[in-house]
């Protein structure tokens, strides 16, 4: 990319956020306008080096495009007669990751010589183990041969990989190869699951939680409007998770919903639910006739006896399905490979199997994961691959220990870290965004403000352990300097 393009896209990814922050565009101009910016138009979307790579679907959109404004005004822009999807219009201003990118870019512009370290995004940094990449290389090479070429595969994934995932992650738990749907990642599966459930279901989320659950629910039309006073969408049950309740919701105060999103080990708090807690959750779902969507994207980070899968809990197969991913185990955030496990025992109120409907969704909305990525997945779950993934996870967990020790030594209350690559640091009585800004301005380290994960995250900052060792050590040295 030329210098000029770099400049343009850097400066304008800031305007992307400005664009997205105008939730009610109609208040800014007299009639419907399909694109927005700084009140000028003829808009060109350009791919930019992606800044922040997690968060909800709409966030991703803003990550991949910057808006170039070239002179004309909005009023001159051609407008279609298509009304904007009103559910998308409900999504809120100040999206977490674009806002972080905007602030980071502004910081870099103000401090061009600063060595900015990012412990904010939650994207992996370490190379994919060779045993895995060599399997992908081989698969890509045989695609150039007549005998080795393959086109569309099974929408559900290659049978060998489905079987290997079932036997690696669900041995003895009654999950079989045909219960596994291989995907291009957990985030896409979360959205496909929302399509599966449709607009009429109600849902609950941990508060704080990974933003994709709430945003995809809003997009599907399951929610009401955002209520600014409480920072919540109407019609979503926010299950507060705090240090006081051990980051497990008080289920006696949680209303019944159809769907319960539950992530353990949790992003962002880093806490893993215990066997007892998950047993309560399964009981709660059974009493209410709810379905748990259990996100185990960080299961391999568990280092105590917390369950790695919801299916370790007796009875869970009747009330739960599980989404998971190779992203944070093998550095597959760019390769893209995950899976969803749906037990045969999981049924709708009319007795129809959930897996059958999901199969229909997968066949309609997805054509199967990349065959090259699936070859990588198969290598991941080979004995050497599992060992290599444990080494990757072990490396990030050493980073976590360094970050935890640093904040502990400074007298902060620190949560998470033990079973997850995230450290959840408490700054009581302070705004998460203020702390984020303080850390960025004074140490040039990017973190993530807890309130971006839901109102329950206010007063916390998430520090990610995904980083090169020298960067983590340097960031911790700067934290010590700031808070000594």
Ligand X SMILES: Cc1ncc(COP(=O)(O)O)c(C=O)c1O
Interface ranges with ligand X (CB under 6 A): 54, 122, 185-187, 210, 263, 267, 295, 297, 325, 327, 333, 338
- Minimum distance from residue 314 beta carbon to ligand X (Å): 25
Cross-strand pairs, 233: 226
- Minimum distance from residue 83 beta carbon to ligand X (Å): 30
Q: Which residue, 122 or 452, has its beta carbon nearer to ligand X?
A: 122
| Ramachandran angles phi, psi of 378, nearest 5° | -65, -40
Q: Which residue, 37 or 385, has its beta carbon nearer to ligand X?
A: 385
H or E, element range at 413: strand 413-416
- Minimum distance from residue 133 beta carbon to ligand X (Å): 18
Burial class (CB in 10 A: 0-12, 13-18, 19+), 241: buried
- Minimum distance from residue 96 beta carbon to ligand X (Å): 12
Rounded distance between C-alpha atoms, residue 112 and residue 10, angstroms: 12
Tell me the two tokens of residue 388: 């290599």
Q: Which residue, 210 or 412, has its beta carbon nearer to ligand X?
A: 210
Rounded distance between C-alpha atoms, residue 205 and residue 187, angstroms: 15
- Minimum distance from residue 296 beta carbon to ligand X (Å): 9
Q: Residues 6 or more apart from 275 whose CB is under 8 A from it?
A: 305, 306, 307, 312, 313
Rounded distance between C-alpha atoms, residue 446 and residue 100, angstroms: 8
- Minimum distance from residue 266 beta carbon to ligand X (Å): 8
Q: Which residue, 308 or 444, has its beta carbon nearer to ligand X?
A: 308
Q: Which residue, 295 or 458, has its beta carbon nearer to ligand X?
A: 295
Length of the chain: 484
Q: Which residue, 218 or 263, has its beta carbon nearer to ligand X?
A: 263
What CA dihedral angle connects 158, 377, 183 and 215, to 10 degrees?
170
Q: Which residue, 92 or 333, has its beta carbon nearer to ligand X?
A: 333
Q: Are 343 and 174 in contact (CB under 8 A)?
A: yes
At which residue do the structure tokens 């051609």 appear?
78
| Ramachandran angles phi, psi of 247, nearest 5° | 60, 25
Residue 90, number of CB atoms within 10 A of its CB? 18
- Minimum distance from residue 22 beta carbon to ligand X (Å): 27
């Amino acid at each position: 990319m030329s210098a000029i393009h770099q400049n343009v896209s850097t400066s304008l990814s800031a305007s992307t956020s400005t664009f997205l922050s105008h939730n009610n565009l109609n208040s800014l101009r007299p009639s419907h306008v399909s694109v927005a910016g700084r009140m000028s138009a003829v808009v060109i979307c350009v791919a930019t080096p992606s800044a922040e790579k997690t968060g909800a679907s709409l966030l991703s959109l803003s990550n991949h495009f910057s808006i170039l404004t070239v002179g004309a005004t909005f009023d001159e822009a051609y407008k279609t007669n298509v009304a904007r999807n009103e559910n998308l219009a409900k999504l809120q201003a100040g999206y977490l990751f674009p806002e972080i990118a905007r602030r980071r870019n502004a910081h870099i512009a103000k401090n061009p010589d600063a060595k900015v370290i990012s412990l904010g995004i939650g994207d992996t940094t370490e190379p994919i183990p060779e045993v895995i990449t060599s399997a992908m290389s081989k698969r890509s090479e045989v695609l150039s041969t007549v005998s080795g070429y393959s086109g569309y595969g099974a929408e559900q994934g290659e049978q060998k990989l489905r079987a290997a995932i079932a036997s690696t992650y669900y041995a003895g738990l009654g999950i079989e190869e045909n219960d596994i749907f291989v995907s291009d990642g957990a985030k896409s599966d979360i959205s496909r699951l929302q399509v599966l459930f449709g607009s009429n279901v109600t849902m609950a989320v941990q508060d704080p939680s990974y933003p994709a659950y709430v945003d995809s629910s809003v997009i599907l039309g399951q929610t009401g409007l955002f209520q600014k006073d409480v920072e919540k969408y109407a019609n979503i049950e926010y299950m507060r998770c705090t240090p006081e309740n051990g980051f497990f919701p008080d289920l006696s105060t949680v209303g019944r919903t159809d769907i319960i999103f539950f992530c353990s080990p949790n992003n962002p708090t880093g806490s893993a639910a215990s066997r007892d807690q998950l047993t309560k959750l399964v009981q709660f779902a059974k009493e209410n006739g709810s379905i748990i969507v259990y996100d185990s994207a960080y299961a391999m980070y568990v280092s105590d006896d917390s369950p790695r899968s919801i299916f370790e809990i007796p009875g869970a197969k009747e009330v739960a399905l599980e989404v998971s991913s190779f992203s944070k185990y093998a550095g597959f955030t760019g390769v893209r490979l995950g899976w969803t496990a749906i037990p045969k025992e999981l049924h709708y109120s009319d007795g129809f199997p959930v897996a059958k409907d999901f199969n229909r969704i997968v066949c309609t909305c997805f054509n199967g994961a990349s065959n090259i990525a699936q070859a990588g997945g198969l290598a991941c779950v080979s004995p050497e691959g599992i060992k290599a993934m444990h080494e990757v996870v072990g490396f990030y967990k050493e980073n976590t220990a360094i970050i935890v020790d640093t904040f502990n030594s400074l007298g902060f209350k620190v949560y998470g870290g033990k079973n997850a690559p995230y450290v959840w640091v408490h700054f009581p009585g302070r705004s998460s965004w203020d702390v984020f800004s303080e850390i960025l301005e004074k140490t040039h380290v990017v973190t993530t403000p807890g309130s971006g994960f839901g109102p329950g995250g206010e007063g916390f900052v998430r520090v990610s352990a995904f980083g090169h060792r020298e960067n983590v050590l340097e960031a911790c040295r700067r934290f010590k300097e700031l808070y000594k």
